[in-house]
Chain A
Amino acid sequence: MPASTSPASPPSFGTLALRWYRLNRGGLRATAIGLISLLAFLLVWHLLTTYRVVFFVRFINVPSPLAVYASFTKAIHDPKFLLHVLLSCRRIFFGFSLAAIVAVPLGLIMGRFKLVHEIIFPVAEVLRPIPAIAWVPMAIMLWPTNEQSIVYITFLGSFFPILVNTLHGMSLVDPVLVRAAQCLGARERSIFRDVYFPASLPHIFTGLTVGMGVAWVSLIAAEMISGQYGIGYFTWEAYSLVQYADIALGMIAIGVLGLGSSMLIRGAGQLVMPWRSR
């Protein structure tokens, strides 16, 4: 294109738009197909529920998309619904943040100091397979308030994925980079800060993403069992109160919140690791 070779004349808007389109064609295509497939999903849902299809699975009581939309417009003006959402978000925030604040440094230290690894790893391996939900009764006994036990369960859910991935990242640090730092005069502290930590960051973020997913799973389960508030409790309560549209609304709200929080983590990862974005 001649316009691109002469820097003297700024390219016209048309040329720019065309270039932008060329560079982003793949993304645009994916977005378009994604939208179409979401619309198709809604359409199938709509048809299945309006015709009350029974084919192994029974759609008799399943709310239609329109019914869910109606209850959504009602819910966003209902302070109680907003409180449910807010409280769930707060529990995720505290549980997940605590898990990250404890698990990441612990993993880094375990990866660097053999003795710490040898002491903590066996305990972690025994506790790790216990699903956070199985902790509910124990958590209620351990913590004085309901709120604390729910946060604790959210914490447990995200703790192990973060720890395991941080450890994995530490075990993959290229020893040549450590040597390179050493013969540039780096001491233990800067080797830790400038080599081990950044080298493990990609895996730490994998751990955070997985941990966030498990945090939501654990939170919803805990809220359904022992909560009085929260979007999980809202969903379960809707079932008891035979408000079927609210069940779907609760589910969709959980999905959207989960998606939003993992997007936040991905965004944070791109900010923290500029060398990995292309």
Chain B
Amino acid sequence: MSEIVVKAPQGHIEVKNFSLSYDSIEGPVEAVTDTQIHVKPGEFVSIVGPSGCGKSTLLNAVAGFLKPTTGIVTVDGEKVNGPSAERGMVFQQYSLFPWKTVRENVEFGLKMRGMPRSQRERAARTLLGLAGLEAFEKHYPEKLSGGMKQRVGIVRALATGPKVLLLDEPFGALDAQTRVIMQQILTNMWQRLKISVLFVTHDIDEAIFLSDRVYCMTARPGSIKAEIPIPLERPRQQSMMMSSEFLALRRGLMSLIREESIKAMGGELNDMGMQGLNIELHGHSLADVI
């Protein structure tokens, strides 16, 4: 285990006065506007928001794939200028290299850092063991299930010991049971490695269950509508999802998102119409119905 260096708390993400517009034929499309977020060292922060509100855009800017139109993204005070191994990323689409075995995938970042073969083999084995994947180290990704692929993706992103881990709806394509297991695994790894996590999802339960804090975004152009601390104690159990505390948080977030989803789907629904919906749905969330 000596290869996995537990660093002093670092990985402080700050996004200030951020906006980002895409160029298109009709002129600039403002995807994210006037946004400030931050993640403290070792904190687990989620971003939720309606579809198309700019969650991926924001995350890709933190990763360094996109340049902000205005504002600045920093990690530990250093400006983000492009992708780097300091910021590990897990994508919604499976992004393992099909031509590398599971272990070679995990080793890739270490190889880029110039770590000698025997050392990185050992490090990769240790990490795969943590995720319960040691039996699959010689398999090619094609032969793995979706959940296993994403687990390898997370392990691969963590192998280089990044300061922060960015995840863009990593469990979106998984079935409900696998999702729950993956959430547990991610929590375990996060607690062991004491790394900052910025997690994008549109699953409210997932956001509450995993996070220390949740940002809720408005419909496009996205900005931060609310910031909700999640005071649930850790370690968290699946059973907590039935607790009144959890349900209260869920209700609060749900109504925030509902407003924005309706805006995103068709601005013509006015407040009166929304209240009508509220009464009719009675206890069900709009998200459930859709």
Q: How large is the interface on B (under 10, 10 to 19, 20 to 34, 35 or more residues)?
A: 20 to 34
Q: Is A23 an interface residue (CB 8 A)?
A: no
Are A183 and B98 in contact, with the CB atoms below 8 A?
A: no
Q: Is A35 an interface residue (CB 8 A)?
A: no
- Please, which residues of chain A bring their CB within 8 A of the CB of B88? 183-184
Are B65 and A179 in contact, with the CB atoms below 8 A?
A: yes
- Please, which residues of chain B bring their CB within 8 A of the CB of A190? 112
- Please, which residues of chain A bring their CB within 8 A of the CB of B63? 179, 183
Selected from A182, A184, A198, the residue in CB contact (under 8 A) with B156 is A184
Q: Is B113 an interface residue (CB 8 A)?
A: yes
Q: Which of B65, B87, B88, B99 has the most CB of A within 10 A?
A: B99
Q: Is A108 an interface residue (CB 8 A)?
A: no
- Please, which residues of chain B bring their CB within 8 A of the CB of A7? none
Selected from A176, A177, A183, A275, the residue in CB contact (under 8 A) with B83 is A183
- Given the interface pairs A177-B97, A179-B65, A179-B83, the reply to whether A185 lies near B109 with Cβ below 8 Å is yes
Q: How many residue pairs between the two chains, A and B, have CB atoms under 8 Å in the bound complex? A: 65
Q: How long is the Cα–Cα vector from A183 to B108 in the complex, in angstroms?
A: 11
Are B160 and A185 in contact, with the CB atoms below 8 A?
A: yes
- Please, which residues of chain A bring their CB within 8 A of the CB of B85? 183-185
Q: Is A195 an interface residue (CB 8 A)?
A: yes
Main secondary structure of the interface of B (DSSP, over half): loop
- Given the interface pairs A180-B89, A182-B83, A183-B88, the reply to whether A198 lies near B97 with Cβ below 8 Å is yes
- Please, which residues of chain B bring their CB within 8 A of the CB of A182? 65, 82-83
Chain A proximity of B276: nearest CB distance (Å) = 42
Whose C-beta in chain A lies nearest to the C-beta of B109? A184
Q: Please encode chain A, from 114 to 155, with 1 for each CB lying within 8 Å of some chain B CB and 0 for all others.
A: 000000000000000000000000000000000000000000
Q: Is A67 an interface residue (CB 8 A)?
A: no
Q: How long is the Cα–Cα vector from A177 to B91 in the complex, in angstroms?
A: 10
Whose C-beta in chain A lies nearest to the C-beta of B92? A176
Are A180 and B99 in contact, with the CB atoms below 8 A?
A: no
Are A184 and B98 in contact, with the CB atoms below 8 A?
A: no
- Given the interface pairs A184-B160, A185-B112, the reply to whether A179 lies near B91 with Cβ below 8 Å is yes
Q: Can you pick out 18 interface pairs between chain A and chain B where the beta carbons lie within 8 Å of each other?
A: A179-B63, A179-B65, A179-B89, A179-B91, A180-B97, A182-B82, A183-B83, A183-B88, A184-B108, A184-B112, A184-B160, A186-B112, A194-B108, A198-B97, A199-B99, A274-B140, A275-B98, A275-B101
Binding site for A on B (CB under 8 A): 63-65, 82-85, 87-89, 91, 93, 95-101, 108-109, 112-113, 140, 142, 156-157, 160
Supply 14 further A-B pairs (C-beta < 8 A) apart from A180-B97, A183-B83, A199-B99. Answer: A174-B93, A177-B97, A179-B89, A183-B87, A183-B89, A184-B109, A185-B84, A185-B113, A186-B112, A198-B99, A201-B99, A273-B99, A275-B100, A275-B142
3 pairs of A and B residues whose beta carbons are closest in the complex = A185-B85, A184-B109, A182-B83
